[in-house]
Chains A and B, each alone.
Chain A
Amino acid sequence: MSRSGLIDRVAGVGRAWARRRQGLDRDTVRLERRRIYILPTKQGAAFGAMVALMLVGSMNYNNSIGLVITFSLGAFGLVVMHHCHRSLNGLILELGEPEPVFAGQDARFPVRLMNDARHARLDLGVFVGRSLVDIVSLGAGEQRDIHIALPAPRRGTQKLERFAVRCRYPAGLFQTWAWLNTDLSCLVYPSPAEQTSPPPNTTPTDGHGQNAESGQEDFAGLRDYRPGDPARRIAWKAYARTNALAVKTFSGSSTAPIELRLADTKGALERRLSILTRWCLDAHALGRPFALALSDTTTETGDGRVHLNQCLRQLALYG
């Protein structure tokens, strides 16, 4: 354990140095020579020892063919080193923004690996720390999308500070690698509470009544579609007739605007945020406009995906 601890520490110094040298990677990165590192693997060291042994043996017996085979294996090792290095040299990585997740899920950072070279790049391992994310092989001109999944146990943000691409192809004698230092972070919403009492029925105080649709389950009519309206309320039949998107509105208390207040919840803070998250999701599912009131701020009343995400974001970053 202490040995691997030491290795970790040395590797950590190396990574910090590389990071200072490379700076942050954003959007699209083409790996070039000065950031690609290469070292022999254990298997490569064994190969070297084997070749050394063969050299001594062939020298001892003054055997020309033994020497030819020994030398060709040695030269093969050096050729392999160049091929291994080339596996990463010129590889393009596109770093995408991760979608927000709920606490307890995995934060998934999209990475696109692109090979615009005429040669294949085989057996590229994507790593976070020492942990393997995926192994990708790219033919000439191919690209692959992968996701670096990190567990996001707590609300807030889950950062992807650094990941590595490694390659041992061909023959596994060398390992070449490149570190990518990113400032990517994934928003982690509080996990929605499993079961909770419905929110006390409160109308927003700032009163955006004119926006609010009224009524129970009674159909109140159609209005024009606005981006963010839930798909389940689109009047598809009307769309078929008129070729214009319209949204059904209802009258009644279940779709009346509601204010979801932190003050109405009980328990530990995280529990209370979980409850609020549940309420927001429920309100959105019902298509009910809502406002979110945290201790000092209150959002505008609204509905739709954009509004929901804004509210969840506030919950994620609260405190």
Chain B
Amino acid sequence: MSATARALRLGRRRAPSSDDRWYAPPLTGTGLRWTLFALVVTALPFVGDVPNWIPPIIALTVIWRYAAFVRKWPLPPAVLRMAWAVGSFFVIYYHYGTINGLEPGSALLLLMSAMKLTEATRARDLVVVVYMAFFNVVTHALFDQQILSSLYGVAALAVVVAALLQVTRRTEPVKPKRALARSANLLAQALPLTILLFLLFPRVPGPLWALPTSSKGTTGLSDSMEIGRFSELLESGATAFRARFDGALPPPAQRYWRGPVFDRIIGNVWSAAPEKPSREYNIDLLEPSYDYDLTLEASQRNWIFALDVPATPDSLPANTRLNEHLQLLADEPIKERTQYRLRAYPSYRLDAAGAALDRSRYLDVSMSENPRTERWARELRTRYTDDAELLRAVLERFSEAPFAYTLAPASLGDGSASDAFLFESREGFCEHYASSFALLMRYAGIPARIVTGYQGGERNPIGRHLTVRQSDAHAWTEVWLSERGWVRIDPTAAVSPDRVERGIQDALGAGEALPPVMLRNGPILSRLRLGWDAANAAWNRHVLSYGKASQQRLLRKLGFKTPSASTLILLLTASSGIVLGILAIALAARRRRARDPVLRAWHRVTHQLAKIGLPRARHETANRYAARVADERPDLAQELIRLASQFSRLRYSESASDKAELAWLRAAARFKPRAASRAYR
């Protein structure tokens, strides 16, 4: 052996290229084309997510690299490539102020894959680019995991796998269609295991390291309310959350989703005073109650917009709490879509006795300057001694002209916004009415606070759920009335009852322009939209929110009383073992069956002949056997000799076609020799 090896090693030094075909195969045109294609396909969805000068760089590099291959241009020197790599870091740092995080990371990845292209001379280099393309698919899922984007991701994955198959070929690569089919085939074979892994792979709750916050602001409510701030939200059609009820939906007038509560006014800005943890409240919850799943979109806030009012603390989901204003809060900011199981009691009595009520806190107007509002409040106070009557009088006033509801109110200036609204412009939307009403109540000596959140929601008949959008953002008030406790008063409902009953779309006057997302007309279009929304809701519920809790539910359904991570691992190991075993058997079976059909059919023929007393001798070839049988049974001669000669041709000739094989198999199957009749004996 050693002499041989030495001789061979000498030989290798002489001609290094022959071994390179295996160990370091050169880059081929097909491999390069596929790699470039995979890179383009996976980089495409990043357009818009990364700085806008990156996509042109990728495109130019791809075009240049292919031209360099075709025209045999030299690749750039190492110095230039180094400069590119180092420069990318600096440019990305300059653009984002960090190279850490999702967006800088993926931008850097794109630049680096383009850089790697410029130094690719071997198939091995292309494999690196292909791996980077795999990363692109995953990182884009971190940006966007909606249905369409995910479908695109799966298609892109198939393209990248096809590229990998083509790049790693050692001999002639196959046609594009075949490569894609092969890739899809392999991925399909991986599907059962993928599903098992997804269902059973133990999830680690919470992030493994601190997530860098996205540089994109997420629309949503804010922790203070100043007149004019809401209009931006009202134009956003983005989904805030979805609620799926177990039974009937609550009536529209009760669809108030409770968010931040503001009890302090400074200038024109409402905000929440620092919380007093010791404060207690007492609440009587009245039936009926509603059970529902709330799926919140990421908001970077820890507010859970529960239907008013959420149940008592003992039945709350894990890692959540109720604050002193009955707002449901998550312990951590909601950075990903999250689902909560909740119960709501729309009828309740809150602090009815008023024993623990801090009246001065909800009457404080010391930081507000609205003299005309104050004067009106005093007038009202002298006219009405009963709080409820006073309140009704104000609402009646709001319901009459010239008070109007509009999404495009006139500017109220910098001064006393409430005065300007109540006595000058008299048109506005929820925050104008809520803010002025609460202030008016306080001036009149009635404890009042602002509640922000969402109101309404679009009912989706297909998915039995409500979709609540940013455009459903709302602000209303709560006033404290003796004997009745805190009562929700929505002054906007007085101005425009439709706003509350049917949603914002019907509340606006005829000539008023709607933000585009709010155009909900047209039966077919709206059906489609609702169907799509239902699909999205199901997608969010079953796929995107699938996590530790869902795994435990699944295990309990499977009959495990106390599911744990080790149960999951055990189950995963066992089931994936079975799946892989089935795959191995299926692959082996395909092999075994393959060598059979012709031979098996021939064996059947000889077996039948053996049954009638004409067995084949071990040494006999098919033709010779047929000839011998033909001598004994002239009635079978013609058929058998044809079968035998065609059998030999099929088995031993290279030019046998599938068609001929099929015809022969049919003929062999028809062959049914009868036992010899006396005539031939």
Partner-B contacts on A (CB < 8 A): 43, 46-47, 50, 54, 56-76, 78-80, 82-83, 86, 89-90, 116-119, 122-123, 125, 127-132, 135, 137, 140, 150-151, 153, 158-159, 161-162, 166, 168-172
Smallest beta-carbon distance B549→chain A, Å:
12
Within 8 A of A (CB), among B45-104: 102
Q: Which residues of B contact A72 (CB under 8 A)?
A: 157, 187, 190-191, 194
B294 to chain A, nearest CB (A): 17
Query: How many Å from the CB of B62 to the closest CB on chain A?
Result: 22
When distances are taken between beta carbons in the complex, the residues of chain A under 8 Å from B189 are 79
Q: How far, in angstroms, from A57 to B21 measured CA to CA in the complex?
A: 36
Which residues from chain A contact B9 at a C-beta distance below 8 Å?
129, 131
Residues on A with beta carbons closer than 8 Å to the beta carbon of B182: 170
Within 8 A of A (CB), among B512-558: 543-547
Query: Complex Cα distance A50/B130, Å?
Result: 12
How far does the alpha carbon of A90 sit from the alpha carbon of B141 in the complex, in Å? 41
Binding site for A on B (CB under 8 A): 1, 4-5, 7-9, 11-12, 18-19, 21-23, 102, 124, 127, 131, 134-135, 137-139, 141-142, 145, 150, 153-154, 157, 161, 164-165, 168-172, 182, 186-187, 189-194, 197-198, 201, 203-204, 207-209, 211, 336, 543-547, 580, 583-584, 587-588, 590-591, 593-595
User: How distant is the Cα of A67 from the Cα of B197 in the complex, in angstroms?
Assistant: 9
Identify the closest chain B residue to A61 (Cβ).
Answer: B142
Between-chain CB contacts (< 8 Å), 28 pairs: A43-B124, A54-B138, A61-B211, A63-B336, A64-B546, A65-B141, A65-B543, A66-B141, A68-B194, A74-B193, A75-B193, A78-B193, A78-B580, A79-B189, A86-B591, A89-B588, A117-B591, A117-B594, A123-B170, A129-B8, A132-B19, A151-B7, A153-B7, A161-B1, A161-B4, A166-B22, A169-B168, A172-B164
A129 contacts B5, CB within 8 Å? yes
Cα A169 to Cα B174 in complex, Å, equals 13
Min Cβ gap A131→B in Å is 4
Q: Which residues of A contact B135 (CB under 8 A)?
A: 50, 54
Interface centre among B102, B138, B168 (most CB of A within 10 A): B138
CA distance A64 to B194 in the complex (A): 12
Contact B591 A65 (CB under 8 A): no
Contacts of B593 in A (CB 8 A): 118
Whole-angstrom distance from the CB of A129 to the nearest CB of chain B? 5
The reply to whether A58 and B138 form a contact with Cβ atoms under 8 Å apart is yes
Since A71-B197, A130-B19, A171-B161 are in contact, a sample of 11 more A-B pairs with Cβ atoms closer than 8 Å, ordered by chain A residue number, is A43-B168, A50-B134, A63-B141, A64-B145, A65-B153, A65-B544, A68-B194, A75-B192, A76-B161, A76-B187, A78-B580
Report yes or no: B211 in contact with A116, Cβ–Cβ below 8 A: no
Other-chain contact of B584, A47, A68, A73, A82 (Cβ < 8 Å): A82
Given A82-B587, A117-B591, are A60 and B211 neighbors across the interface (CB < 8 Å)?
yes
CB-CB under 8 A from A161, the residues of chain B are 1, 4
Determine whether the beta carbon of B590 is less than 8 Å from that of A118. yes
Choose one: A82, A86, A127; the contact of B580 (CB below 8 Å).
Answer: A82
CA distance A61 to B4 in the complex (A): 56
Which of A58, A66, A153, A171 has the most chain B CB atoms inside 10 A of its CB?
A: A171
Query: Within the assembled complex, what's the spacing in Å between the Cα atoms of A105 and B501?
Result: 98
| Contact of A119 with B594 at beta-carbon distance under 8 Å, contacts A50-B135, A64-B544, A82-B584 already known | yes
On chain A, the residues within 8 Å of B18 by CB distance are: 132
* Minimum CB distance partner of A133 in chain B: B18
Partner of B201, one of A67, A79, A83: A67
* A-B complex: 8 closest residue pairs judged by Cβ atoms: A118-B594, A172-B168, A75-B193, A75-B190, A71-B197, A65-B145, A65-B141, A123-B170
Distance in angstroms between the alpha carbons of A135 and B171 in the assembled complex? 7
User: For residue B22, which residues in chain A have a CB less than 8 angstroms away from its CB?
Assistant: 125, 127, 132, 135, 166
Distance in Å: Cβ of B383 to nearest Cβ of chain A: 58
With A60-B208, A118-B591, A118-B594 as contacts: A128 and B8 at CB distance below 8 Å: yes
Chain A residues, CB < 8 A from B5: 129
Taken together as a complex, chains A and B put the C-alpha atoms of A202 and B301 apart, in Å, by: 112
A67 pairs with B198, CB closer than 8 A: yes
Check if A56 sits within 8 Å of B168, measured CB to CB.
no
Contact: A79 with B190, CB < 8 Å?
A: yes
Query: How long is the Cα–Cα vector from A56 to B190 in the complex, in angstroms?
Result: 21
Check if B131 sits within 8 Å of A50, measured CB to CB: yes
Shortest beta-carbon distance, A97 to chain B, in Å? 18
Q: Which listed residue, A43, A60, A78, A127, touches B207 by the CB 8 Å rule?
A: A60
- CA gap between A125 and B8 in the complex, in Å: 16
A253 to chain B, nearest CB (A): 44
* Contact indicator A140/B594 (Cβ below 8 Å): yes
The answer, among B142, B170, B211, for a CB contact under 8 Å with A66, is B142
Question: Chain B contacts of A54 at CB under 8 A?
Answer: 134-135, 138
Are B207 and A69 closer than 8 Å at their CB atoms?
Answer: no
Q: In the complex, are the beta carbons of B170 and A168 less than 8 A apart?
A: yes
Docked-complex contact A70 and B170, CB < 8 angstroms: no
Complex Cα gap A132–B189 (Å)? 32
